[in-house]
Amino acid sequence: MKIKTLLTASAMLALPASADVIISEYVEGGSFNKAVELFNTSSNSVDLSTYQLKLYFNGKTQASVIALTGAIGAKQTYVIAHSDIDPAAHVDFPTNKLLFNGDDAVVLENDGAIVDSIGKVGQDPGSEWGNGLTSTKDNSIVRNANILTGDTNPFDDFDPAQEWTGFAKDTIENLGQHTADGGSDNGDGGDGSDNGGGDNGTGTGNCGESFTAISAIQGTGTTSPLAGQTLWVEGIVTSDLQAGGYKGFFIQSADSEVDNDNNSSEALFVYHSADDVNVGDRVRIQAVANEYRTLTQLSTVSSIEVCQSNQALPTATVFTLPANDTEREALEGMRVTLSNTVVTDTYNYGRYGQFSVASERLFNPTQVATPGAEANALSALNKLKSIAVDDGLTSQNPESLPAPAPELSAVNSLRSGDTIPTLSGILSYHFDQYVVFPSGTVATQASNPRTMEPKIDVKGNVRVASFNVLNYFNGNGQGGGYPTARGAKTEQEFIRQRDKVIEAIYAINADVVGLMEIENDGYSTTSAIADLVNGLNAKHNANVYAFVAPVNGSLGDDAIAVGLIYKSARVSPKEAAKILDTNNSPTDEQNQPLFLDNKNRPMLTQVFTLNDSEQQFAVAVNHLKSKGSDCDNLNDPDLHDGQGNCNITRTRAAKAIGQFLNNELTDVPTLVIGDLNSYAKEAPLTALADAGFVNVFDHLNKTNTYSYIYQGELGHLDHALANDALKDQIVDVTSWAINADEPRVLDYSMQNQQAVHHTKFYAPDMYRSSDHDPVVIELNLVQAMFGDLDADQDVDRNDLDLFLQQITAGELTDMRFDFNNDNTLDRRDVRGFMQLCTRSRCATE
């Protein structure tokens, strides 16, 4: 039994406080953009194993506790963030437990002592403490530099304006750095303080006199051997980022001054933005050498002089991927040139002006490799093959994005798979990764162009599609009800989303479409699925599509559900839809349900008949548990084998799907589609293969396909699998690359954008209508011939023998074989069968 102890206000206040660690930043942004930054004000490292972060929700006095680990170095930060925070954020301690809103209090404790707090424990302020930018809702607040002690009374009134500075929602670039005790904020370029040490006595302020070589400051390791010393340095300015937020510029040794040691860099970042220097200037600087998050730099500049202008820039070094950190460190700050790179990740391009390139397109390890050691080795290799490209600005949502030239727009997209023949710039280290700051225009080639419709090589007689529609929520169905639990924040955003989704489905032109992430709000005239069908029919100017409505009127309790729509003139539901959920799930050896609908969305299965031939086939739509949030309560954590969180939960669901369909739809040609949140080599796909369901892409030898991109790696989360009765009737399959390759800034959302972006980045077309690509499957259902009892596509003497045997044994029950219409099946029908075959009508009647 667990005994819960409530800590009273008086007990909390009685505990002694520690002054070493304070909360220095708080981020309460959209979705999972939640973070709390700690700062060590002392001159010694602090062990965090005795620290806890406590969250008090909605005025409660009982806390959700996050136990911390690790340590904070002297004058350093430590960022606790939700595991699914924007990947551009600096994170030291990821956790799925960091979920709070603006009305939730946050308390930092050390061994039971109150260290610092945000908000007021026991009070629900409604939505936030403070107002405007300096409030705890939809804002980031940073502790003022002169505040070096925490608020150790979590029950006093809290006004963030007293000690904090506010920033706009989802501002995350300040995480991982903090200025205290009057130091200057240095963006990501330096620690803003003199690291001590003294002038090494080398040089004066006169250009051309002796100075310390840049290579000597860089050294051959990861840190400078001269850190903390005040030095005189000369170099040529190769890139100027003073105005872009990085607050500095790069200098590099002239070609004649290099040390010919390939292990030491010939360039440095200078954290300084008070003087006017230009690219091509040779400058002489007196400054302190130091390390800022492993970036060797000069800061605390006390003297700078332009010695000469318009100097030839140092020769760029050829940089080839793959490259390890040692090879990259040796070029830190230097001019480099990369050839024939491929764009791999554009997810954050619109938000932070950053995309990634690699030596080739990179597949998610478990898409092509066995989970475990093989997949982990491929993951490590993928990292060596890629590098980020940054626009040199730290501000979010820049007005213009320069690639592809002249700028990114809804009709001029930078797609993953596009190539860059030559990429020249500065190789550096910022925001915990190596980046290239381009010099001049980035010229791209559209090597992966958009297409107007899915590429189908072989046409069949039925087309089925699977489409994740990215939280299609239509408010209250009457123009209001926004923001919704997911999806569009406003009606205007929903209209933009709706137009894109409808354009995509219209172009797919499938007879049956399985949907994922449709709002789970029933099947009334105001429901999301009814809205989508109405929009499609308006596009067709006819009642083309209808939707499948389960008999019980709902599919589980999740905010989203799967759905099925179909062309009523082409196919018809044969019977009521079947649902797989926890209540009717197959069970394991301990009689526990395999399928959990509080993790997975219930499966929807419908048997259809083709209207012009009455052939049957079934479509089963799925959306399994995501990898993003944990299943720790089920003892199903991320095992770091490449399969992510909740792999056992998904695998058990896959086993349930196989058993359920094999029992319910014996011999019915069945297609399993949907977002299984598993890549091709992962256990859930293996479980379905064991149940007799083949991966259609593999079956048709379709290689190098994908439906989703995560952190630059391609793979199929969206699948099509066929049972034995259907697999040979599938003639083609494709994944239509309209979404995953596109920057997310081109979707419907108007969040985190300037007004100019709302028209520049949006078009009512199918591109970036979701984050998943639709999968399109062509079936060529073979018509079963009447009288072909041995299924050899021929009606002959063998069928007569089988007919006679079954009549004799009383095994034939299909009344279509009652040739004399006496409502019985007997030997007299053999004569009718023989006469029919004699007239060669067996195959047609």
Residue pair 269/295 in contact (Cβ under 8 Å)? The answer is yes
Short-list 353, 557, 333, CA closest to 442:
353
What would the mean pLDDT of 195-221 be, rounded to a whole number?
Answer: 76
Read out DSSP for 529-560? Answer: HHHHHHHHHHHHTS--EEE---TTS---SSSE
- In this predicted structure, the answer to whether residue 844 has a pLDDT above a threshold of 60 is no
**DSSP state letter for 318:** E
d(CA 531, CA 563): 13
Q: What is the pLDDT of residues 653-698, one digit of tens each?
A: 999 999 999 999 999 999 999 999 999 999 999 999 999 999 999 9
- In this predicted structure, the answer to whether residue 395 has a pLDDT above a threshold of 90 is no
What would the mean pLDDT of 475-480 be, rounded to a whole number?
Answer: 95
- In this predicted structure, the answer to whether residue 12 has a pLDDT above a threshold of 80 is no
3-state secondary structure (DSSP) of residue 402? coil
Read out DSSP for 87-129? Answer: TTS--SEEETT----TT-EEEEEETTEEEEEES-TT---SS-S
Structure tokens at 584: 């009717």
The single residue listed with the structure tokens 């050691």 is 373
* Consecutive H or E run containing 562: strand 560-567
Structure tokens at 11: 């007990």
Query: What does the pLDDT read at residue 95?
Result: 93
Short-list 652, 647, 649, 650, CA closest to 588:
652
Greater model confidence, 64 or 530: 530
Backbone angles phi, psi at 335, to 5 degrees: -70, 130
- In this predicted structure, the answer to whether residue 801 has a pLDDT above a threshold of 90 is no
Residue pair 422/702 in contact (Cβ under 8 Å)? The answer is no
Any idea of the CA torsion for 474, 479, 485, 488, to the nearest 10 degrees? 70
Read out DSSP for 142-210? Answer: EE-TT--S----TTS---GGGTEEEE-TT--TTTT----TTPPP-TTS--SS-----B-----SSTTS-
**DSSP state letter for 842:** T
pLDDT tier, 88 (very low <50, low <70, confident <90, very high otherwise)? confident
Residue pair 669/656 in contact (Cβ under 8 Å)? The answer is no
d(CA 587, CA 593): 4
Query: What does the pLDDT read at residue 815?
Result: 67
Any idea of the CA torsion for 164, 166, 172, 178, to the nearest 10 degrees? -30
Read out DSSP for 79-96? Answer: EEEETTS-TTS--SEEET
d(CA 366, CA 372): 9
Q: What is the pLDDT of residues 243-282, one digit of tens each?
A: 888 889 999 999 999 998 999 999 999 999 877 899 999 9
The single residue listed with the structure tokens 């162009």 is 449
- In this predicted structure, the answer to whether residue 17 has a pLDDT above a threshold of 60 is no
Which residues are within 8 A (CB) of 226 and not within 5 positions of it... i.e. 6 or more apart? 200, 212, 216, 217, 219, 289
Query: What does the pLDDT read at residue 211?
Result: 96
Q: Are strands 139-143 and 134-135 parallel, antiparallel or unpaired?
A: unpaired
What would the mean pLDDT of 145-169 be, rounded to a whole number?
Answer: 87
Structure tokens at 198: 């003294």
Share of the chain above pLDDT 90, in %: 73
Residue 421 preceded by cis peptide, ω within 30: no
The single residue listed with the structure tokens 């969250």 is 55
pLDDT tier, 793 (very low <50, low <70, confident <90, very high otherwise)? low
Query: What does the pLDDT read at residue 183?
Result: 35
d(CA 357, CA 436): 10
Buried b (16+ CB within 10 A) or exposed e, 291-309: bbbebbbbbbbeebbeeee
d(CA 377, CA 546): 47
3-state secondary structure (DSSP) of residue 717? coil
Any idea of the CA torsion for 650, 654, 656, 662, to the nearest 10 degrees? 170
Residue 602 preceded by cis peptide, ω within 30: no
d(CA 437, CA 426): 5
Query: What does the pLDDT read at residue 785?
Result: 62
Query: What does the pLDDT read at residue 791?
Result: 61
Integer Rg of the chain from CA: 32
Q: Where are the beta strands (DSSP E) in 193-294?
A: 230-240, 248-252, 267-271, 282-292
pLDDT tier, 149 (very low <50, low <70, confident <90, very high otherwise)? confident
- In this predicted structure, the answer to whether residue 198 has a pLDDT above a threshold of 60 is no
The single residue listed with the structure tokens 């806390």 is 63
* Consecutive H or E run containing 672: strand 670-675
What would the mean pLDDT of 422-449 be, rounded to a whole number?
Answer: 94
3-state secondary structure (DSSP) of residue 804? helix
pLDDT tier, 193 (very low <50, low <70, confident <90, very high otherwise)? very low
Residue pair 297/271 in contact (Cβ under 8 Å)? The answer is yes
634: alpha, beta or left? (left if phi > 0; alpha if psi -120 to 50) = alpha
For the chain, domains (ranges, CATH) are 9-167 (2.60.40.1260), 214-312 (2.40.50.140), 318-438 (2.40.50), 462-779 (3.60.10.10), 784-845 (no CATH)
What would the mean pLDDT of 294-318 be, rounded to a whole number?
Answer: 95
3-state secondary structure (DSSP) of residue 685? helix
Distance of alpha carbon 488 from its chain centroid, rounded? 18
Which residues are within 8 A (CB) of 26 and not within 5 positions of it... i.e. 6 or more apart? 35, 36, 37, 106, 118, 136, 140, 141, 164
Query: What does the pLDDT read at residue 841?
Result: 54
The single residue listed with the structure tokens 């003022």 is 144
What would the mean pLDDT of 809-830 be, rounded to a whole number?
Answer: 76
Query: What does the pLDDT read at residue 357?
Result: 98
Q: What is the pLDDT of residues 362-383, one digit of tens each?
A: 999 999 999 999 999 999 999 9
Query: What does the pLDDT read at residue 837?
Result: 67
Residue pair 490/481 in contact (Cβ under 8 Å)? The answer is no
